[in-house]
Amino acid sequence: MTEIVMTQTPPILHGPSEKEKKYDRQLRLWAASGQAALESANILLVNSGTGTVGIETLKNLVLPGIGRFTIVDDAVVDEPDLGVNFFLDESCLGKLRSQCCTQLLQELNPEVKGDCYPKSKAAVDLNNILTTSPTFTLIMYTMPIKPEDLATLEAYGRQHCTPLVSIHTAGFYSYFRISLPGAFPIVDTHPDAEKTVDLRLTQPWPELVQFAEEMTQDIESLDDHAHGHLPYVVILLYYLGKWRDAHNGANPTEYKAKVEFRKTVADAARTDNPEGGEENFQEAVAAVNRSVKAQSLEPTLREVFDHELSNEAELRSSFWVIANAVKKFHDKHGALPLPGSLPDMKAESKVYVKLQSIYKAKARKDVSEVLETARAMAGGEDVDPAEVEMFCKNASFVKLVNATTDGRDLSKIYDSEKANDELAEAVGMPLSLMPIYLALSATSHNAAATIDEIKAEVSRRIPGAADDMRVLQAAQEVARAAGGELHDLSAVIGGMVAQEVIKIITKQYIPIDNTCIFDGISSRCQALRL
Amino acid sequence: MLKIWSMKKEQQKADNADAAAGKKKKVTAAQLRVQKDLSELSLGSTMKTEFPDPDDILNFVLAITPDEGLYNGGRFTFTFNMSQNYPHEPPKVRCQQKIYHPNIDLEGKVCLNILREDWKPVLNLNAVIVGLQFLFLEPNASDPLNKEAAEDLRQSRDNFRRNVKTSMGGGSVKGNPYDRVLVNHHSYFHPYYDQRGGSSAGQEGKDFEEHQGRQDQGTVEGRG
Amino acid sequence: MAVDAGVGINEANRWRYLNHIRKTKGPFNEDAEISEDGPDPLQQSKILVIGAGGLGCEMLKNLAMSGFKDIHVIDMDTIDISNLNRQFLFRQHDVGKSKAEVASAFVMKRVKGVKITPHNCKIQDFDEDFYKQFQIVICGLDSIEARRWINATLVNMVDDEDPDSLKPLIDGGTEGFKGQTRVVFPTITPCIECQLDLYAPRAAVPLCTLATIPRQPEHCIEWAHIIAWDQEKPFPSLDKDDPEHITWLYEKALNRAQEFNIPGVTYSLTQGTVKNIIPAIASTNAIIAGSCCLEALKIATQAAPSLGFNDNFMSYDGTEGVYTNTFKYEKKDDCAVCGSLAKPLKVDPNWTLRELLESFATNAAAQLKKPSIRTEEKTLYMQFPPSLEETTRPNLDKKLRDGLGLVEKQEIAVTDPAFPLLSFKFILRFS
């Protein structure tokens, strides 16, 4: 039995490679392109303090297979390390923490290269490490950190356009903040499949119109089988045509008209058949709401179209060339390039496949028009057709993270959070977690600060804030930890940071903009732009 | 340890349940639901259940003997199997005979929406049984499981009727032998079935092949 | 506490950060009972981890690093190569070995002083006596059925006379960049069964679409899986982990797709569709397992208020920024597991079943006219359907104990068509 199957299997049918098998569960999320981006990533962790959250983060990056990591940490392993850091054991006592963690992390995935500094028990020269290492894709650092090291990392980030991630964890509290080098566009945002359906029912093109007309010219005389297998796209195009004839050419895009139009379609279903109704007409009725609509731009895409290119890197990037070409396409046609995918719907196989090819052909045509426009633009001569295709397919959901650089006055944000809290308290919604951020960041350079020291530092940044009861409680809670990490909380944050790092490296899904505050007591987080 | 117990005591209502744990196994949620479904079943005269093991109510056989329509005179049995995930998952239902029906394939799989895509936990066994009964009264040629049968029904109801009778008698249709499901020979030769079939007699002859030796295989009468 | 683990490490030093936090009260646990010299809850708590997969590996690490000393883990699975991208206690050379055993050995070697007992079997292989020994149960499962089983077991175990019979259940789950943590105090707060509607059943395609009008690559794969396999039976039974079987389905699906001009059938899609593969990554597991263990630590030590009585559910979504929704799920009055808990019922063991049934008619709490009655393993009497009524009718004249073999503390379930929304469970007490 076995042999027969094997000999019948043509060579193209061979299964996945060992690597594809190992990474199967993640390839289903970010595909080969995302995996390739991860595998060429070179990540730096500057570790300090009780040192666990950064290592937990790296664990979650080594497993999916980043290319390379480097740990900078001058701590020597001490007994308390063994009570909080899983990537150390008693044989590590007295050795360099960076070295021991690197070794145990590397065991997780032989395909990942690891490096560490310092090489011997000596002071770390961060500047020297940065200048002698291959360029880092992304840098993470944990709090507390020496102010001069922070300045060094920030300078490197500016110079090399490197995303920086700062992480601070103490007891039940944590926050992490991502600094991206300028506006960060993402094309492959993975929106929900149903959101992406774009059937162009109110703006059909000639091939689609002709196809629908051919199927419906004798709609009343179709036999039950044919009538019950008209694809809902065709049904809607037919009744939209009749609707426009009766309404001076207007489509039923307003609420009241939609309700009426839905009824028209529902009434057109045949009920004198064994099933007592028609599934395709039910699908058509259900699709009216989301698919019969005037074309409009998502605000996130509007932001992309309106973005003013501000630096050299942006001017050179193919993303902005394509965005510009798509904008021109939109200006000219009053619609975006067609994404081209057709949702499943009741239909005969042949009819569905034909309809699918009509959508695909139109999408390909739009892609080539955009490509032509892009190639005619300065800097667009060598634009990759695959990149254009990806952009056109996802155009509606392209997203600019870190779009603006303004509005980061901490006092103003705090005032607005306090104002929100008054409303939230009245309706029983969760309150702002900003007090946690304030209390933690008051210990950025002094992990073991007392309650009074924390209060003083908060007040220095936002006068009066330390008198707030919730800020006081947060300060008490931070002081309670005395700079110590809880392993469970660091595991949670290590997972959250790794997710964000993966999104940034793969340029897929949407990374946080820009700070996440986590409260391990109430088990919830808040995203804030700080 | 958190004082959960004192919170329980606080919350406890006066008449709250006493679940003094015994060693005996507890009735599972699926069993309880099937018990309820069974006691609320409304079986007409054309349907009967059989429990191979009366203590295992998650498995039983339903026999349908339609008293009208194209399948009148036949007796069709379906196995019902409910998993411990019932009613979160639909019951698994299979026809035990190989029959000529557009919505039941030759392996006994049944195309009934509530057995698959439209199942909801609020539905019950009664809904499924009503659905099965309906399939025998109104075989549906649109999107079938048995394409030949559906094509046949679409083209000529009379011809389809004859082929159904042939198949129910244990004969072959289009070269495919079917299980004999007739309750008795009398209904097969009932004049009603042949009263309107004159026009395509030739085709009937072509479709009909008496299949020797199948008479006792898989028929319901033979079962204990 | 200051006893060392036998490797020359001072335990007080080693657990300094953890102990400092849990022995110092903060503003949110002022009412906690934390004593310097009383028994240490971490030393005393025996904790059960169900599942040694993506979540389970993380949970074992986290619990060991949270100071728990006595941990058991149940998993019947063996290690597969596709586990290695996240189940970080396993290596290439472990493929094929027991997950529970490899995971336990790894963590015990790394974290000295913790005892982890692996059970390479199904959760259903154990009875209440086994589950009784634990103080907390944490689940990292991928099956709804297993969750429902352990949930029902823990709910049914609660004995009103025994505080120790109540075991907090912490449950984690992930899918891609999303996940959830929930805490159940059985019989007090909503149980897993109360929350079943969270699991939307997998969208199914009509069988007739597969058979007659396929349009999508998945339709061709499901056709191969459900229809072609059944017709041709190329192997005695389908093993979804056997690449040869998947290849057979892939080939069938591919041929069918070519016949209908449908693009997109790949090996990976075939495998994903047939096995219902849910994407899984290390980072999401870390978040959810970390959150579950943090709740366990809070419950065990009272170092902070846990999820449970108020908010009891945290859902996480990392697809678009970072988003959590932490809320209070409500208990369902008609929950099949915790909605109608078994009540004690005094009966005379010498009664016949008929006498018992008659007593239901006059029982103020029940007032049942047409009761049907079963135990877990025996159908005692069913009023309907007729075939079952007939077979069980002889039981009516048998005595409960001697004739039917019912015993003290046996659970019986009673239904009546007059009360379509209700069912009654009783624990027999012989008078």
What is the pLDDT, as a whole number, of residue A104? 98
Q: Which of C62, C103, C86 is nearest to C282 (CA)?
A: C86
Q: Would you call A274 and B154 a contact, using CB atoms and an 8 Å cutoff?
A: no
State CA A120 to chain mean position distance: 39
Query: What confidence score (pLDDT) does residue B185 get?
Result: 46
More confident residue, C284 or B141: C284
Among candidates B138, B139, B142 on the partner chain, residue whose Cβ is nearest the Cβ of A228: B142
| C371, C359 Cβ separation under 8 angstroms | no
Cα torsion C130, C131, C136, C140: sign = positive
Q: Cα C213–B88–C221 angle (5° rounding)?
A: 30
pLDDT category of residue C423 using cuts at 50, 70 and 90: confident
Average pLDDT over residues A242-257: 95
Of C65, C63, C86, whose CA–CA distance to C73 is shortest? Answer: C63
Residues 6+ apart with CB under 8 A from A306: none
Please list the residues that pair with C414 across neighbouring strands.
Answer: C373, C424
Report residue A164 CA to chain centroid gap.
17
Q: What mean pLDDT do residues C261-290 have?
A: 96
Which domains, and CATH codes, for chain C?
38-199+280-327 (3.40.50.720), 207-275 (1.10.10.520), 343-430 (3.10.290.20)
B38, B57, B111, B183: which one is catalytic? B111
pLDDT value at A353 more than 60: yes
The predicted complex's ipTM stands at 0.95
For residue B216, pLDDT over 60 is answered with no
HSE, CB side, 13 Å, CA atoms: give it for residue A283.
16
Q: Taking the C-alpha atoms of C224, C229, C231 and C232 in order, what is their torsion angle to the nearest 10 degrees?
A: 110
Residues A169/A489, Cβ–Cβ less than 8 Å: yes
User: Cβ-count burial of A228 within 10 angstroms (0-12 exposed, 13-18 middle, 19+ buried)?
Assistant: buried
Q: Higher confidence at residue A287 or residue C365?
A: A287
Strand C372-374, strand C178-184: pairing? unpaired
Chain B residues near residue C343 by CB distance under 8 angstroms:
17-18
Place of tokens 């994407």: C279
Give me chain A's average pLDDT, please.
93
Segment A156-184 shows an average pLDDT of: 96
Task: Give the mean model confidence (pLDDT) for residues B13-37.
Answer: 68
The DSSP secondary-structure symbol of A230 reads S
**Residue B188 pLDDT greater than 90, yes or no:** no
Give the span between the Cα atoms of C65 and C58, in whole angstroms: 10
Find the radius of gyration of the CA atoms of chain B: 23
pLDDT at residue B20 is higher than 70:
no
Establish if A12 touches chain C: CB-CB under 8 angstroms.
Answer: no
State how far residue B142 is from chain A, nearest Cα, in angstroms: 6
Q: Which residue of A has its CA nearest to C84?
A: A22
Which residues on chain B are in Cβ contact (under 8 Å) with C336? 29, 32-33
Q: How far, in Å, CA of B40 to CA of B48, rounded?
A: 14
The reply to whether B111 belongs to the active site is yes
Segment C119-148, tens digit of pLDDT: 999 999 999 999 999 999 999 999 888 999
Mutate one of C281, C288, C312, C328 to test the A interface: name it (highest A CB count within 10 A): C281
* Per-residue pLDDT at C8: 74
Out of A369-378, B92-101, B105-114, C338-347, least confident range: C338-347
Does A275 contact B139 at a Cβ distance shorter than 8 Å?
no
Q: Report pLDDT digits (tens) over C395-415.
A: 999 999 999 999 988 899 999
Q: pLDDT tens-digit profile of A79-132?
A: 999 999 999 999 999 999 999 999 999 999 999 999 999 998 888 899 999 999
Do C300 and B106 make contact, defined as CB atoms within 8 angstroms? no
List the catalytic residue out of C121, C191, C208, C293.
Answer: C208
pLDDT band at C210 (very low <50, low <70, confident <90, very high): very high
Q: Is the pLDDT of residue B209 over 50?
A: no
Mapped onto helix, strand or coil, the DSSP state of residue C5 is: coil
**Res. A437: pLDDT tops 80:** yes
Q: Which of A13, A28, A60 is the closest to C286 by Cβ? A: A60
Domain boundaries defined on chain A: 2-187+486-528, 204-291, 299-401, 410-481
Chain A residues near residue C271 by CB distance under 8 angstroms:
24
A165 contact partners, CB below 8 Å, separation of at least 6: A138, A139, A140, A141, A176, A177, A178, A179, A497, A500, A501
CA distance C303 to chain B (A): 10
Question: What pLDDT does C424 receive?
Answer: 83
- Answer with the residue of higher pLDDT: B13 or B52: B52
* Confidence band, pLDDT 50/70/90 cuts, at residue B198: very low
Which DSSP symbol is given to B109?
A: B
Burial class (CB in 10 A: 0-12, 13-18, 19+), A181: middle
Task: At A464, give phi and psi (nearest 5°).
Answer: 90, -20
Residue A233 has pLDDT above 80, yes or no: yes
B contact test, residue of A222, A223, A225 with most B CBs within 10 A: A225
Cα–Cα distance for residue pair B116/C202, rounded to 1 Å: 10
Q: Which residues of A touch B138 (CB under 8 A)?
A: 274
B141–A228 CB contact, under 8 Å: no
Q: B140 and A224: CB-CB below 8 Å?
A: no
Q: What is the mean pLDDT of residues A369-390?
A: 95
The CA distances from residue A170 to A482, A488, A490, A514, C342, in Å, are: 8, 11, 9, 20, 46
User: Which ranges constitute the DSSP H helices of C261-334?
Assistant: 267-275, 282-301
> In the structure, what pLDDT confidence band is assigned to residue B143 with cuts at 50, 70 and 90?
confident
| Domain A2-187+486-528 = CATH 3.40.50.720 | yes
pLDDT of residue A373: 97
B138:A274 CB<8 A: yes
pLDDT for A427: 85
Q: Does residue B224 have a pLDDT over 50?
A: no
Question: Per-residue pLDDT tens for C30-40?
Answer: 988 887 777 88
Neighbours of chain A (3+ CB pairs under 8 A): B, C
